[in-house]
Chains A and B, each alone.
Chain A
Amino acid sequence: MLHAAVLLPFLAAFFIPFIYRGVKQVHLGWFVLAVPILLFGYFLTFINGVLKGVHTLKTFEWIPSLGVNVTFFIDGLGLFFALLITGIGSLVVLYSIYYLSKAEKLGHFYVYLLLFMGAMLGVVLSDNLFVLYTFWELTSISSFLLIGYWYQREKSTSGALKSMVITVFGGLAMLGGFLLMSDITGTTSIRGIIENADLIVNSPLFTFILILVLLGAFTKSAQFPFHTWLPDAMEAPTPVSAFLHSATMVKAGIYLVARLSLVFAGTDLFFLIVSGFGLLTLCWGSYMAVRKTDLKAILAYSTISQLGMIMAMLGFGTKAAILAAVFHILNHATFKGSLFMVAGIIDHETGTRDIRRLGGLFTFMPITATLALIGTFSMAGFPLPILNGFLSKEMFFKSSLHFEHASPIVEAVSPFFPYFAVGGSIFTFIYSVMIFFRTFTGKQRDTLEKQPHEAPIGMLISPMILVALVVIIAIIPDTFGHLLLAPMVDSVTNLVVDPHIKFWHGLYNPELYMSLAVLIFGTLLYMTRTKWVRIYDVLPGKMSAAKVFDALMNGMVKGSEKVTNIYMTGSLRHYLVYILTFFIALLAITMSVTGGFTLSFDDLAPIALPEVMIAVVMAVAAFGTIFMNNRIAAILVLGIVGYGLSLLFVFFRAPDLALTQLIVETVTVALFLLCFYHLPDLDKEKSSSGTKVVNWVISISVGVIVTLIGIASHSTKMFEPISDYFIKNSYKLGGGDNIVNVILVDFRGLDTMLEILVLGLAAIGIFTMIKLRPGKKGGNE
């Protein structure tokens, strides 16, 4: 049943194109909507079990012999994410029905969306490392397709590529970490690995593993400096941004860190990296968001910043921090989801998302404005008892103040954390306020393409539900804490937590003053923002992660072009020089390392004068070819080498060879002559002296090396050759006196048959080369 649930989106994705083709009157989204709603209902039924501590585990054997099984596992953490994915998914699909008109390629859109939904469910429910990885990459791929949905736009495709490159990079690093973890613990099950966590923590590879796995998490969750893909991903349709790039997919990295907290947490390294990068991302994201003017870009940087905040809390690792983290995951999904939808509405109804052109929309779209008001103020952490963002922000402040495990490093670093927390939050306050006031209040600054008006009710339903949740969660946080958060904290820390969340902690709490500081400084800085905006010229100035990424990609392409052009010259001589140089170097090294060269004068045939004389003639003739400028002479000299060889065969008791060589040589020479007749005469070698030296060095080295190996081989005969058998049995079994012939036609008849085949093939080749001339234009196909 659980498998069927995860499979359902995939199945639906498969059938969507058929429905799309068959049913034209009804918006495709209505059919799709059934999937997440059904699944949401289904996952709700697990809450009761999880509260009682019952963890559902279902296994489907995929590649059992590799230890790769589709094992789905529902505990507090998995269930929460499953509900988040299907819940937000339902709202997003509903919203998309009004956002995307029927003129769009809805078939594609919903197929990708359903693929993503299935993959994301797979990520958060898998117990098997490699299945998790499979779904993980599938989320990257579906995200790639969704960002590139409007594929004619250059920006969409480059954004799609960027997100894929960065997230797949992280995924591969993570795969490396997973491989090491499963090697060390001997299991591919996450639960199994958690049980054997000490093996990993004590392994010498711990640092390596941690970095690899965190690369996966950080790239996916857009942590600094990998965050750069997220703003570009905003080219996707807004429902996608709301769903993938704020509420769910970007939280996969958060999920992974949370899931593996029981393995890594408690080590200083984990604490340093995760909290450090988390806080850095928090500050950088909110700082950069203030600078942006496109509503979706502000929201993208805001998402980066909020993800950093959640990551930091996971890094803190205390019970209170984890509770705050999981609470904020929920809260962020509600207010950020609604804000993305609001941004979509504004874009849809006014034709722009640029806050420099917007303003005064409150009068035209009061409902949207109200929703935005609640969303932005919740995000800002404005101290009102109806804003869930305030509650989790306070918990964040509080958790940045108290650390349980006291190692020297923690003690040394942690006092700085509250400052980062407050600093990041001040900027969060600024851009939140900015979104609302610059869009909805004041005067309209520009004539817009469309006359702004309130969105259709269908588009408003989803953000309304989310905003309602913002308020409800703030009013009854304990219910959510009890039902969802406590089981999650249990999964992440193995500790039971009292999920009591209060609005008012009394006057003597440092977090209250931190909140007030945010409020005051935030307001002040917002009012005076024109005065200090030039700071952005200094930091980041001309630097940005996007530029680094572009430079890397460009450099890679340019660099590879350069490198490849240097050696892939198309010159046969160059290629041969490389190959032969490698040959010489490799064999020289091998011989000297292995002591391969031996020289033995035993068992040699006596030196006879005629043979030596022939040898000298052959050698002279061979080198003669090099210096011949007359083609006929060159061929004749080559013939001398061939005929010399056949004479040698006579001396070496090989009459058959001698005969064959004689015939073949004659025919070859004839052929050479025939061909050369059509070719230009030989030139005198006109190469530079450098080239000549290289040629000589290489050819002499090759000669020396093969000679040495030949002599060494001959000097180390280790076994009797098998040929005695041929001598003994040639007549008896082969019925022939000529042993060589018997070998050829009988013992090794297959070789001979094939050699004839080679001749035949050569003949066919020659025939086609001569006869087949390309038509007027010799193109392929």
Chain B
Amino acid sequence: MSNLVILPILLPLLTGIFLVFFNSKLPLVRMITKVMVIINLIAVSAIAYEVVQNGTMVLKAGDWTVPYGIVLVADPLAMVLVVTANIVATACAFYAFHSLDEQRERFYFYPLFQLLIAGVSGAFLTGDLFNLFVFFEVLLIASYGLIVLGGTKEQFRESFKYIIINLFSSILFVTTVSFLYAVVGTVNMAQLAERVGEVEQGGILTTIAILLLVVFATKGALFPLYFWLPKSYTVPPTVISALFGALLTKVGVYSILRVFSLIFVYDLTFTHQLFIILAAFTLIFGVVGALSTNNIQLIVAYNIIPAVGYMILGIGVFSATALAGSVYYLVHDMIIKAALFLLVGAMAAYSGTSDLRKMGGLIKHQPVLGWLFFIAALALAGLPPFSGFVGKLLILRGAFEEGHYTVAVIGLLTSLLILISIIKIFIKGFWGEDKLEKVPNISIRNKIMPAAFLLFFTVLLGIGAEFFYPTVQSIGDQIIDPINYIDSVMKE
């Protein structure tokens, strides 16, 4: 049974490798991708259901005794995120068929895409810190391949910055793992948790924890480490931006959540207070960035940052409510960011520009796109009854309950500013005078459908919150009291 845990990694991995060899037959590649993303989505949903119902599943790779081998731990948190990642992947795959030029498709988009998903799923599932590093590298190098795919000037320019900064954080990561190994003598996360707990996390361990924070915060785009993000996320084709925006930073946030709830929880007054301060700055500077530009893709890319701020705020508050809120927000944000990237991509494709000053009156030509965007904008700002509201409500409720009033007020204000930054696209792009010189003779229906698919989940997570919330709350309870995680790994 527990062997199933490898599937979310293995399926895309094998598919990806397989696709490399059949790359010349594009229709076949598309067909296989189509079938496999759906099979994968079904498979991970089934596993997630099983995990939520019957508890965490642990796979010891190669069946080696814990902690000597590598373990994959499918706990509810990891599985929920894996499912969400696959929902995003499915939408993006279908968007890719109708948006990428054939050249890019031919040059291994689909294998890179599949392996990126494998890396992301692996990062969520692994219970081994060094293995997490390796999965990070898998997803990063897949992302390097994707970000340069197409070889335009801008892509080379921005991807170099992106890669150098990520490379630095990767090197720091592996160094930090070795420091941790020197002190605690293991790299298995559950055992790390046990051992760090035994010595109650002395000064050096807190220092190492902060090193890890820097590593993950760079990937997760926290203040003040996000500089590489906005521009580099807007240069590749839309579908790649959507994948990056939805998945990559969230892996960083997930890692912070995991490490600072499982292992380093014995100096909360320092570490988690720091999170709250960083969260406040991340919220403010992120949204200020989003307000500063007229490029629709850049507006969406900047909006990744304040969302990270909310999640980190939930981790910093560190109560069951707030953590559940962070998890809810994580799921929400993966979906809504992908949806928004796809929507603005469709807008740009239709109007031939990303510059808001050159757009106007699109709603007359593309009403469905317009209204989907409107819903997405409200969801992004966390207005009810969409998914963002539930997560934000929980995080802010947690913050108020624990007495963090200032940052909670900043959180409230930020969501107003997010709304202003994103509704600007609606007002200037869809409303206003028609600025299209001639109506382009292209159909963007196939681009709208994947976004609609994602927005369906946004609405479902908002209006149907009752279906999901109890699960998320129990995840929140488990995060704050990780004994369940440790036991299910160590007692096998």
Q: Which residues of A approach B to under 8 Å, CB–CB? A: 61-66, 68, 130, 133-134, 137-138, 141, 148, 151-152, 154, 157, 160-161, 164-165, 168-169, 172-173, 175-176, 179-180, 182-183, 208, 556-557, 559-561, 563-565, 567-568, 570, 572, 574-576, 578-579, 582-583, 586-587, 590-591, 593-598, 706, 709-710, 712-714, 716-722, 725-726, 729, 733, 746-751, 754-755, 757-758, 760-762, 764-765, 767-769, 771-775, 778-781
Interface centre among A576, A733, A765 (most CB of B within 10 A): A765
User: B149 an interface residue at 8 Å Cβ cutoff?
Assistant: yes
Q: Residues 266-289 of chain B: 1 if any A CB is under 8 Å from the residue's CB, otherwise 0?
A: 010010001000000000010011
Contacts of A173 in B (CB 8 A): 412
Contact B469 A63 (CB under 8 A): yes
CA distance A771 to B142 in the complex (A): 17
CA distance A750 to B10 in the complex (A): 11
Q: A560-B288, A718-B195 are known contacts. Are A758 and B384 too (CB-CB below 8 A)?
A: no
Among candidates A169, A586, A713, residue contacting B208 with C-beta atoms closer than 8 Å: A713
Nearest CB to that of A766 among chain B residues?
A: B145
CA distance A709 to B172 in the complex (A): 12
CA distance A148 to B432 in the complex (A): 10
B interface bracket (residues with beta carbon within 8 Å of A): 35 or more
CA distance A210 to B180 in the complex (A): 49
User: B48 an interface residue at 8 Å Cβ cutoff?
Assistant: no
Contacts of B390 in A (CB 8 A): 63, 66
CA distance A722 to B289 in the complex (A): 47
Among candidates A164, A176, A567, A712, residue contacting B396 with C-beta atoms closer than 8 Å: A176
Contacts of B416 in A (CB 8 A): 165, 168-169, 172
Q: A173-B412, A596-B207 are known contacts. Are A572 and B160 too (CB-CB below 8 A)?
A: yes
Contact B349 A713 (CB under 8 A): no
Q: Among residues 176 to 210 in chain B, which have CB atoms less than 8 Å away from a CB atom of chain A?
A: 179-186, 188, 191, 195, 199, 202-204, 206-208, 210
Could you tell me the distance in whole angstroms from the C-beta of A166 to the nearest C-beta in chain B?
10
Q: A137-B384, A176-B409 are known contacts. Are A764 and B111 too (CB-CB below 8 A)?
A: yes
Contact A750 B70 (CB under 8 A): yes
Among candidates B185, B203, B270, residue contacting A719 with C-beta atoms closer than 8 Å: B185
Contact A168 B270 (CB under 8 A): no
Contact A761 B408 (CB under 8 A): no
Give 6 pairs: A residue, B residue, CB < 8 Å, sorted on A: A63-B465, A65-B466, A721-B186, A729-B68, A767-B107, A774-B151
User: B141 an interface residue at 8 Å Cβ cutoff?
Assistant: yes
CA distance A593 to B273 in the complex (A): 13
Q: A157-B431, A575-B228 are known contacts. Are A716 and B175 too (CB-CB below 8 A)?
A: no
Could you tell me the distance in whole angstroms from the C-beta of B443 to the nearest C-beta in chain A?
14
Q: A168-B419, A180-B400, A596-B206 are known contacts. Are A768 and B148 too (CB-CB below 8 A)?
A: yes
Contacts of B292 in A (CB 8 A): 557, 560-561, 563-565
Contacts of B183 in A (CB 8 A): 713, 716-719
Contact A582 B423 (CB under 8 A): no
Q: Which of B50-58, B131-139, B310-318 contacts A (4 or more CB under 8 A)?
A: B131-139
User: B361 an interface residue at 8 Å Cβ cutoff?
Assistant: yes
User: B30 an interface residue at 8 Å Cβ cutoff?
Assistant: no
User: B112 an interface residue at 8 Å Cβ cutoff?
Assistant: yes
CA distance A308 to B138 in the complex (A): 63
Contacts of A570 in B (CB 8 A): 231
Among candidates A154, A165, A172, A582, residue contacting B415 with C-beta atoms closer than 8 Å: A172
Contact B134 A754 (CB under 8 A): yes
CA distance A62 to B393 in the complex (A): 15
User: B46 an interface residue at 8 Å Cβ cutoff?
Assistant: no
CA distance A153 to B191 in the complex (A): 64
CA distance A285 to B218 in the complex (A): 52
Q: A576-B165, A750-B61, A754-B138 are known contacts. Are A769 and B148 too (CB-CB below 8 A)?
A: yes
Contact A179 B203 (CB under 8 A): no
User: B103 an interface residue at 8 Å Cβ cutoff?
Assistant: yes
Among candidates A62, A176, A722, residue contacting B68 with C-beta atoms closer than 8 Å: A722
Contact A713 B291 (CB under 8 A): no
Among candidates A154, A595, A775, residue contacting B432 with C-beta atoms closer than 8 Å: A154
Could you tell me the distance in whole angstroms from the C-beta of B2 to the nearest C-beta in chain A?
15
Among candidates A576, A582, A583, A747, residue contacting B64 with C-beta atoms closer than 8 Å: A747
Q: Among residues 322 to 357 in chain B, which have CB atoms less than 8 Å away from a CB atom of chain A?
A: 345, 348-349
User: B482 an interface residue at 8 Å Cβ cutoff?
Assistant: no
Given contacts A62-B466, A751-B131, A767-B108, list 14 more A-B pairs with CB under 8 A. A63-B466, A157-B427, A168-B419, A175-B396, A176-B409, A563-B285, A598-B204, A713-B180, A718-B183, A725-B68, A748-B70, A760-B17, A761-B145, A769-B148
User: B69 an interface residue at 8 Å Cβ cutoff?
Assistant: yes
Contacts of B144 in A (CB 8 A): 765
Among candidates A63, A575, A746, A773, residue contacting B161 with C-beta atoms closer than 8 Å: A575
CA distance A758 to B104 in the complex (A): 20
Contact B210 A586 (CB under 8 A): yes
Q: A63-B469, A168-B416 are known contacts. Are A764 and B20 too (CB-CB below 8 A)?
A: yes
Contacts of B361 in A (CB 8 A): 151-152
Q: Residues 224-242 of chain B: 1 if any A CB is under 8 Å from the residue's CB, otherwise 0?
A: 1101101100011110000
Contact B401 A183 (CB under 8 A): yes
Contact B103 A726 (CB under 8 A): no
Q: A63-B465, A716-B204 are known contacts. Are A757 and B13 too (CB-CB below 8 A)?
A: yes
CA distance A151 to B349 in the complex (A): 23
Nearest CB to that of A152 among chain B residues?
A: B433
Contacts of A596 in B (CB 8 A): 202-204, 206-207
CA distance A306 to B58 in the complex (A): 67
Contact B214 A568 (CB under 8 A): no
User: B22 an interface residue at 8 Å Cβ cutoff?
Assistant: no
Contact B61 A749 (CB under 8 A): yes
Contact A758 B103 (CB under 8 A): no
Contacts of B470 in A (CB 8 A): 65
User: B216 an interface residue at 8 Å Cβ cutoff?
Assistant: no
Among candidates B64, B141, B164, B168, residue contacting A758 with C-beta atoms closer than 8 Å: B141
Contact B175 A706 (CB under 8 A): yes
User: B18 an interface residue at 8 Å Cβ cutoff?
Assistant: no
Contacts of B413 in A (CB 8 A): 172
Interface centre among A65, A152, A590, A773 (most CB of B within 10 A): A590
Contacts of B389 in A (CB 8 A): 134
Q: Among residues 4 to 24 in chain B, which have CB atoms less than 8 Å away from a CB atom of chain A?
A: 13, 17, 20
Among candidates A62, A160, A755, A757, residue contacting B427 with C-beta atoms closer than 8 Å: A160
Contact B145 A164 (CB under 8 A): no
Among candidates A66, A137, A587, residue contacting B465 with C-beta atoms closer than 8 Å: A66
Contact B384 A134 (CB under 8 A): yes
Nearest CB to that of A582 among chain B residues?
A: B224
Contacts of B152 in A (CB 8 A): 774, 778-780
Contacts of B378 in A (CB 8 A): 141
Nearest CB to that of B186 among chain A residues?
A: A722
User: B460 an interface residue at 8 Å Cβ cutoff?
Assistant: no
Contact B211 A746 (CB under 8 A): no
Q: Residues 373-402 of chain B: 1 if any A CB is under 8 Å from the residue's CB, otherwise 0?
A: 000001000011100011001101100110
Sorted nearest first, the 4 A-B pairs with minimum C-beta distance are A596-B207, A765-B145, A721-B185, A594-B203
Contacts of A557 in B (CB 8 A): 291-292
CA distance A66 to B199 in the complex (A): 37
User: B363 an interface residue at 8 Å Cβ cutoff?
Assistant: yes
CA distance A504 to B393 in the complex (A): 53
Nearest CB to that of B433 among chain A residues?
A: A152
User: B438 an interface residue at 8 Å Cβ cutoff?
Assistant: no
Could you tell me the distance in whole angstroms from the C-beta of A722 to the nearest C-beta in chain B?
5
CA distance A179 to B431 in the complex (A): 35
Contact A560 B70 (CB under 8 A): no
Contact B165 A579 (CB under 8 A): yes
Contact A748 B69 (CB under 8 A): yes
Nearest CB to that of B291 among chain A residues?
A: A560
Contact B137 A758 (CB under 8 A): yes
Contacts of B469 in A (CB 8 A): 63, 65-66
Q: Residues 288-304 of chain B: 1 if any A CB is under 8 Å from the residue's CB, otherwise 0?
A: 11011100000000000
User: B473 an interface residue at 8 Å Cβ cutoff?
Assistant: yes
Contact B383 A575 (CB under 8 A): no
User: B27 an interface residue at 8 Å Cβ cutoff?
Assistant: no
